Amino acid sequence: MTANQRMRTNHSRVNHQNQLKLSQLRVLVAAAACENFSEAALQLEMSQPAVSHAIAALEEHLGVVLFLRGRRGARLTPIGERIVVRAREIVQQADEIEKEALLSRGLEGGQVRLVAFRSVATHVLPSVIASFHQRFPAIGVSLTEYEDYLHVEQALRDGAADVGFTFLPASDDLQTWKMVQDEFVALFPADFKADRAEITWEELMAQPLIMPPNHSIMMEQVYAHAEAHGYQLTTAYEVKMDSTIVSLVAQGLGTAILPRLAAEPIPPKVQIYSLPVPLYRIIGAAVLADALQTPAIYAFLEVLQSLNKGSPHTPSSR
């Protein structure tokens, strides 16, 4: 190998190790616009040393000084001004490439149809939908509320919805992700005085009970839980609406047992206790197992899992 060949080989190795990076050009464009590395770091959600390192690496690669640093910030050199024009063009083209990729994946449009029962729709989904909209603003989201999980699951089977929110474990034909562990709580009026921090079954049974109907799907678990510990719940007032139950407790007419999400918002004067033996319901997201999902639905599930750090549950019967 001749000396010229060795020089070309070494130069090729250096270029391979120190390639011009799109991330460096993005930093250059931001720093030029802000004329300050710290402000550029905030804009890019990076640390200030990371911005400085990216600019320094770019200057080393190009062999020119791009910025004049000073106490009042950083200003482009003449060569820096010419280079940043090209950098803006490259960054813009890269953004267009990403946009085309999104279009091809169907994420610049489409619809995700959600179904849930009221407490989840009111207290859990708004923040999820907001995060999803922030990442995928062009995808529409619709939300339908049902009274119970049976209607939610049936909507999935009927093709009327894409993602449903139900109780876990769910039916065998659904793939699910755990989202929320919702505790059943006992609600007492302001004048109730407990003997200690935890209530007993006797204290609970001594109060007039304001409860949903005992055939209510939401409450079947509660009645069975009490019976398993030797107590039969007898209601003084049978009321269907959760909000009405909470209002009656606030007026001092009795005590109630409700899932915490269903009871929210709970007035400050209403006292909240765990049951003598704590009880929870597990709420999860569900899709039809083995169904062909659209890119928009996959995107929603990705956002959902990133927010909840959940993993798919193996389908199992109730």
Report yes or no: 281 and 156 within 8 Å, Cβ to Cβ.
Answer: no
Residue 298 has pLDDT above 80, yes or no: yes
Residue 200 has pLDDT above 90, yes or no: yes
Residue 5 has pLDDT above 80, yes or no: no
Pick the more confident residue, 216 or 36. 36
Domain boundary assignment for the chain = 3-104, 106-318
Q: What is the pTM of this model?
A: 0.64
Region class of 17: left (phi > 0), else alpha (psi between -120 and 50), else beta:
alpha
- Tell me phi and psi for residue 121, to 5 degrees: -60, -35
Cα 268 from Cα 252, distance rounded (Å) = 13
251: number of Cβ within 10 Å? 14
pLDDT digits (tens, 9 = 90+) for 46-96: 999 999 999 999 999 999 999 998 888 899 999 999 999 999 999 999 988
Position 309 scores a pLDDT of: 60
Topology classification of domain 3-104: Arc Repressor Mutant, subunit A (1.10.10)
Across 241-263, average pLDDT: 95
Position 4 scores a pLDDT of: 43
Cα 273 from Cα 266, distance rounded (Å) = 12
Position 1 scores a pLDDT of: 52
Residue 9 has pLDDT above 70, yes or no: no
Region class of 267: left (phi > 0), else alpha (psi between -120 and 50), else beta:
beta
Cα 299 from Cα 175, distance rounded (Å) = 16
Report yes or no: 48 and 38 within 8 Å, Cβ to Cβ.
Answer: yes
CA 173 to chain centroid, in Å, comes to: 24
Cα 40 from Cα 58, distance rounded (Å) = 16
Position 276 scores a pLDDT of: 95
Pick the more confident residue, 120 or 102. 120
pLDDT digits (tens, 9 = 90+) for 136-163: 888 999 999 998 889 999 999 999 999 9
Position 106 scores a pLDDT of: 65
CATH class label, 106-318: alpha beta
Q: What is the mean pLDDT of the chain?
A: 87
- Tell me phi and psi for residue 198, to 5 degrees: -105, 140
* DSSP tag of 35: T
Residue 105 has pLDDT above 80, yes or no: no
Report yes or no: 162 and 299 within 8 Å, Cβ to Cβ.
Answer: no
Residue 104 has pLDDT above 70, yes or no: no
Position 103 scores a pLDDT of: 62
Residue 236 has pLDDT above 50, yes or no: yes
Confidence of residue 19 (pLDDT cuts 50, 70, 90): confident
Position 11 scores a pLDDT of: 44
Closest by CA position to 184, among listed 242, 283, 257, 77: 257
Position 316 scores a pLDDT of: 36
Position 15 scores a pLDDT of: 46
Collapse the DSSP code of 6 into the 3-class scheme (helix H, G, I; strand E, B; otherwise coil) and give the result: helix
Position 123 scores a pLDDT of: 92
